[in-house]
Amino acid sequence: MSQDLLASNAIVGPIEPWLESVGGIERAFRAQDSGCVSYIVTAAGERLFVKSARTALARASLERAETLHRAIKHRALPPLLRTGASLEGPFHVYEAVPGEVLYDDVTMEGDAGRRHPDSAHACFRSLPVGRILDVLDTIFEVHVLLAEAGFVAVDFYDGSILYDFKEHRTWLCDLDEYRPGPFVLEETRLPGSSRFMAPEEFVRGSRIDQRANVFALGRTAAVLLGDGHVGSPAWRGSDECEAVARRATALNPEDRFHSVSAFRDAWADARREGLS
């Protein structure tokens, strides 16, 4: 099955019957904002993640993802193994990586899901602080590489983070909205979770640059180390790291770190100081 998926450049018919014929669909993800339909396909002991596009919006999403994966490689990014096309549109084949999404469980939605004691988010928050800090280091490292390659993060949130509790490994997925930047926002807002978005991402005509990335990363620290708010009593990091997260999430872009690398370096210094 995996050889069929990795060798076929074009599928004559619709993608779902073909996936069933070459292996079998373990799970389908149909309700995605991008318009993509994704599948986990399992056969011969291998698991692959297939993302297909059937609308113009979804095709643009896959094109952006291909550009990103060709530009950078990192151990936290599931490898894009190949691209292809079906009667319905293009598709990508990725390695299906183990892990649980840190947003919520399948049967739980919103804050209630994240706060449920059995949710992946709650289990992650109960890990030793050192492990959480290691995950944040990985997330920041990937975004330094992306920024250096000229990408601005769009639609990054805790639903983009998978954590393998067995191997304690972090994966970042669905970075399909990331775009070359800086750019000027031509819509009324960018796609994404408002919990992670900088104020300028809601203003037509605003400049979107690395300082928006910095805001999203500061919010990521607040969500994974606290209850989503810098300065919350639930914060589990050091005072030094909290100060970095606070500056990163300043409402005025001019008050934030000017680049992702500057933020990452300040965070690394704060993490070391917090141990002293």
Per-residue pLDDT of the chain in tens (276 residues, 90 and over written 9): 455 555 556 666 788 888 888 778 888 887 677 778 999 998 677 889 999 988 888 999 999 999 999 999 999 999 999 888 888 888 999 999 999 999 844 444 444 545 667 788 889 989 999 999 999 999 999 999 999 999 999 999 999 999 999 999 999 998 999 999 899 999 999 999 999 999 999 999 999 999 999 999 999 999 999 877 777 888 999 999 999 999 999 999 999 999 999 999 999 999 998 775
CATH 1.10.510.10 location in the chain = 100-275
Rounded distance between C-alpha atoms, residue 254 and residue 115, angstroms:
33
Q: Which residue type is seen at 142?
A: V
CATH 3.30.200.20 location in the chain = 2-95
Rounded distance between C-alpha atoms, residue 220 and residue 136, angstroms:
8
Helix (H), strand (E) at residue 81 = strand 80-85
45-55 pLDDT, tens per residue?
Answer: 788 999 998 88
Q: Residue 145 contacts by C-beta under 8 Å, 6 or more apart in sequence?
A: 72, 74
Rounded distance between C-alpha atoms, residue 201 and residue 219, angstroms:
14
List the one residue out of 55, 71, 29 whose CA is nearest residue 178: 71
Residues listed for the chain: 276
Token pair listed for 243: 């100060």
Cβ neighbours of 229 (radius 10 Å): 13
Token pair listed for 135: 């995950």
Rounded distance between C-alpha atoms, residue 178 and residue 169, angstroms:
23
For domain 2-95, give the CATH number: 3.30.200.20
For domain 100-275, give the CATH number: 1.10.510.10
**Intra-chain end-to-end CA distance of the chain, in Å:** 53
Token pair 């972090």: residue: 170
| 17 upstream amide cis, omega within 30 of 0 | no
Helix (H), strand (E) at residue 38 = strand 36-43
182-200 pLDDT, tens per residue?
Answer: 999 999 999 999 999 999 9
Angle ∠(130,134,142) on CA atoms, nearest 5? 165
